[in-house]
Amino acid sequence: MRNVPSTSASTSRNVEKFLPKLLDRLGKAKAKVIANKNPGDDQEVVLSRFKKIEDGLQQMEDLKLLPRVTLWEHNLFNQFTDLERRVDKFFLGDDENNAFIGLEAITSFLARMIDNVNQIKASIPVVNLMPSYPERSLEFTHWSQPELGLTAAKKLSQELSQMGVEKGIYESRAMANMRRSYEHLEGTELRLCFLSFSIFPAESVIKKRPLIYWWIGEGFITGTQDKTAEEVGEEIFDKLMKQGLIQPHGNAVNASSSSTSCTLHPWIRYMLIGLARDALLFHFDSSWPWMPSCQASVCRRPCLVFYQNPTSLGEEDPLTVFNVNRNYLSFKREWLSKLKNVVVLQLGRWQSSPTHHIEVDDEGLFLKGIGAQHYLSFKYLSLRGISGITRIPSCIFNIISLEILDLRACHNLETLPSDISSLRKLTHLDISECYFLEGMPKGIGKLSSLQVLKGFLIANLKNTPSRLGDLAKLKKLRRLSIYIGIEAVMQDKEFENLKEISSLRRLKISWAVVSPELRGKIAHQCMDFSSLPDLEKLDLQGIPLRKVPPWLNPKELKNLKKLYIRGGELDSLQHAGEETVTECKWRVEILRLKYLSNMKIELTEVEDQFPHLLYLEKVECHEIEKDKYEKNIFWSKAQGQKLSNC
């Protein structure tokens, strides 16, 4: 018998030629079985099993899967090598004069080979096993006239039905493969989270964070002794992506851990719609079966879509109201006051694009209807990205059961209620990108359950009774973003209070345009990061300093894995007189430098200062002449290229 190549040798061969060779050897094995058959042997079972193996391998070959498979690693190669070894040893033999084995043994052995092929196919993300989708693109979420999207979608549905495509989709082998992938998902929470993707329109780019907030609010996921609910949500998002059930969108360091948005293959979406409808998770419009509806009589999860107007809920008592793609929200207070048992009210933006527009009338006065009832189970309210809201009514801050309040990018928001201390169960508060906001309410330091606080504003003393010192009381705070406004008044040693938040893992600091006086205070602020042992990510935006400050130092940030510096005046990352010793080297793995017109840093210098680097983005840094910058760089160590050669 010929020597079987090792796994390392197999990995070096051209994958495009590997399958044809294996199919050729399989054909020779089948021919030998036929040639050596005994009188009276029934070869039907044997030949049918040969065909199953050939069909499975041929499908991989026809769809050109293997060159595209990111999981082409030891596991997959070991499986192929084992399959190749079985063919050679069992069918071809090492001596043509050897007596050939019996038909019963061949039949049994082929069954095990079929299992091999199925294991190989299971190692390939299921989306790669699907035939191509009909060439038609419906970008519902980006049309300025949504009613055109409805007309086009209905027309497409009719066309596909007439062609028999829709029926073929549900009865296809690819759909069966996808259903098996769903059935093999471990745990109810993973399945429920996956089914939630069914309501998003075709071609949607879905933002990860609102998705996870929704899962938490619904109770699909909960925290454990070792992990927060958000960390559990991150793991589920990663699992779905690694299995190819959702795809990353945009530049990502790898397919899961750095993806902040995702998309869904149309065929997977069709499968999910059927499963979610059967599970009574959502109701789908009978006149347009590919979109959810606002009817909540059965599923208790009405969805707001652009062609339906939920003026009355009647006897319905929804748990969740989800804004799928309504751009203009106009409700009567009475409508919201009927939501006595609501758990999730997702009115804001879930879309990845920050340009997606949602607007309210009457400055969002309908929100006062939310406080008309005493809520006991209301957990998640999202007004993310809604224009026209100038103030948040105090009734919302009286919902003591609220756990997640997302007000991100409410660009017209000016005023919050004066006291937030009643929200003792609040774990997430996002008020980032609310640039008209005048100040912080008092009582933030009493939110003992708070894990995530985004957009904490440092303004003048009059409008901001809550200061950084109050945050030192938040022992569960893991993620914090701070915005230093134009009128900010910095107290002496104010940033020293950060060292008290030992649980902090991610910190973002953003600066508005600052005065020379404030710039001087920022330069001399003492930030003691050495007492933050778990700080993994530091994001600095619009830093108003030319020279690197003493606190931005690898000696202080010993466990930092991600460093993002975007915008501002910084011209280098080199400390004056710094020695080239190990303790002066960064342990950062992901470095993003963007829009730094003064920043001049050589790639050899990056390699020296960041010896553990896995990924680098350098975009519009070092302005050579007006509006012209050094070459943009997107480098990943996984690509095998040396950074200094970019």
Per residue in 46-67, pLDDT (tens digit) is 778 778 877 777 766 665 555 4
Per residue in 403-440, pLDDT (tens digit) is 999 999 999 999 999 899 999 999 999 999 998 988 88
- First and final CA of the chain: distance in angstroms? 47
Burial class (CB in 10 A: 0-12, 13-18, 19+), 391: middle
Burial class (CB in 10 A: 0-12, 13-18, 19+), 188: exposed
Q: Are 227 and 249 in contact (CB under 8 A)?
A: no
Amino acid in the structure at residue 282: F
Q: What is the structure's pLDDT at 615?
A: 92
Q: What is the structure's pLDDT at 594?
A: 95
Q: What is the structure's pLDDT at 287?
A: 65
The residue among 544 and 486 whose pLDDT is bigger is: 544
Give the pair of three-digit tokens for residue 510. Answer: 């953003």
Q: What is the structure's pLDDT at 137?
A: 36
Q: What angle do CA 470, 474, 477 make, to 5 degrees?
A: 125
Question: What is the H or E stretch that residue 353 is in?
Answer: none
Three-state secondary structure of 532-572: CCCCCEEEEEEECCCCCCCCCCCCCCCCCCEEEEEEECCCC
Q: What is the structure's pLDDT at 357?
A: 87
Burial class (CB in 10 A: 0-12, 13-18, 19+), 364: buried
Residue 477 banded pLDDT, cuts 50, 70, 90: very high
Burial class (CB in 10 A: 0-12, 13-18, 19+), 430: buried
Exposure class string for 498-520: b at 16+ Cβ within 10 A, else e: bbbbeebbbbbbbbbebeeebee
pLDDT at 3 over 70: no
Cα torsion through 345, 351, 355, 357, rounded to 10:
-40
Per residue in 219-251, pLDDT (tens digit) is 999 999 889 999 999 999 999 988 888 988 875
Per residue in 555-564, pLDDT (tens digit) is 888 889 999 9
72-81, 477-486, 584-593, 634-643: range with lowest mean pLDDT: 72-81
Residue 95 banded pLDDT, cuts 50, 70, 90: very low
Per residue in 566-581, pLDDT (tens digit) is 999 999 888 765 555 5
Residue 79 banded pLDDT, cuts 50, 70, 90: low
- Mean pLDDT over 25-52 rounds to 74
Q: What is the structure's pLDDT at 9?
A: 37
Q: Of how many residues is the chain composed?
A: 646
pLDDT at 479 over 90: yes
Q: What is the structure's pLDDT at 63?
A: 54
Report the C-alpha gap between 280 and 299 in whole angstroms. Answer: 5
Residue 78 banded pLDDT, cuts 50, 70, 90: low
Amino acid in the structure at residue 351: Q
Residue 466 banded pLDDT, cuts 50, 70, 90: confident
Give the pair of three-digit tokens for residue 424. Answer: 């003792």
Which range, 97-106, 466-475, 483-492, has the best average confidence (pLDDT)?
466-475
pLDDT at 139 over 80: no
Q: Please, which residues have CB within 8 angstroms of residue 312's CB and are 6 or more apart in sequence?
A: 335
pLDDT at 295 over 50: yes
Angle between helices 208-218 and 188-195 (to 10 degrees): 130
Which range, 14-28, 205-219, 284-298, 495-509, has the best average confidence (pLDDT)?
205-219
Give the pair of three-digit tokens for residue 516. Answer: 């020379």
Which one, of 407, 454, 393, 449, lies nearest residue 424 by Cα? 449
Amino acid in the structure at residue 484: I
Q: Is 93 left (phi over 0), alpha (psi -120 to 50) or beta?
A: left
Tokens 């789908």 correspond to 284
Bridge partner list, 457: 483
- Mean pLDDT over 62-90 rounds to 53
Amino acid in the structure at residue 35: A
The residue among 524 and 356 whose pLDDT is bigger is: 356
Q: What is the structure's pLDDT at 592?
A: 95
Which one, of 7, 10, 32, 8, lies nearest residue 21 by Cα? 10
Burial class (CB in 10 A: 0-12, 13-18, 19+), 426: buried
- Mean pLDDT over 262-287 rounds to 84
Exposure class string for 578-603: b at 16+ Cβ within 10 A, else e: eeeeeeeebebbbbbbbebbebebeb
pLDDT at 288 over 90: no
Give CA separation, 338 vs 308, 312, 374, 375, 575, in Å.
18, 9, 11, 11, 60
Report the C-alpha gap between 76 and 73 in whole angstroms. Answer: 6
Residue 478 banded pLDDT, cuts 50, 70, 90: very high
Work out the percent of the chain whose per-residue pLDDT is above 90.
Answer: 30
Burial class (CB in 10 A: 0-12, 13-18, 19+), 228: buried
Give the pair of three-digit tokens for residue 114. Answer: 């079929």
Residue 209 banded pLDDT, cuts 50, 70, 90: very high
pLDDT at 311 over 70: no
Q: Are 386 and 348 in contact (CB under 8 A)?
A: yes
Q: Please, which residues have CB within 8 angstroms of residue 467's CB and are 6 or more apart in sequence?
A: 458, 491, 494, 497
Report the C-alpha gap between 588 and 586 in whole angstroms. Answer: 5
Phi, psi for 34 (deg, rounded to 5): -65, -40
Q: What is the structure's pLDDT at 135?
A: 38
Cα torsion through 610, 611, 612, 617, rounded to 10:
40
- Mean pLDDT over 144-165 rounds to 48
Residue 155 banded pLDDT, cuts 50, 70, 90: low
Angle between helices 103-122 and 44-62 (to 10 degrees): 20
Pairing of strands 615-621, 590-596: parallel
Residue 616 banded pLDDT, cuts 50, 70, 90: very high
Give the pair of three-digit tokens for residue 267. Answer: 């065929």
Report the C-alpha gap between 356 and 560 in whole angstroms. Answer: 34
Fold of 163-270: Arc Repressor Mutant, subunit A (1.10.10)
Q: What is the structure's pLDDT at 293?
A: 80
CATH 1.10.10 domain locations along the chain: 163-270
Residue 526 banded pLDDT, cuts 50, 70, 90: low
pLDDT at 140 over 60: no
Residue 158 banded pLDDT, cuts 50, 70, 90: low
pLDDT at 381 over 80: yes
Q: Are 372 and 336 in contact (CB under 8 A)?
A: yes
Per residue in 10-26, pLDDT (tens digit) is 333 455 566 677 777 77
> What is the average pLDDT value for the chain, to the nearest integer?
77
- Mean pLDDT over 74-90 rounds to 57
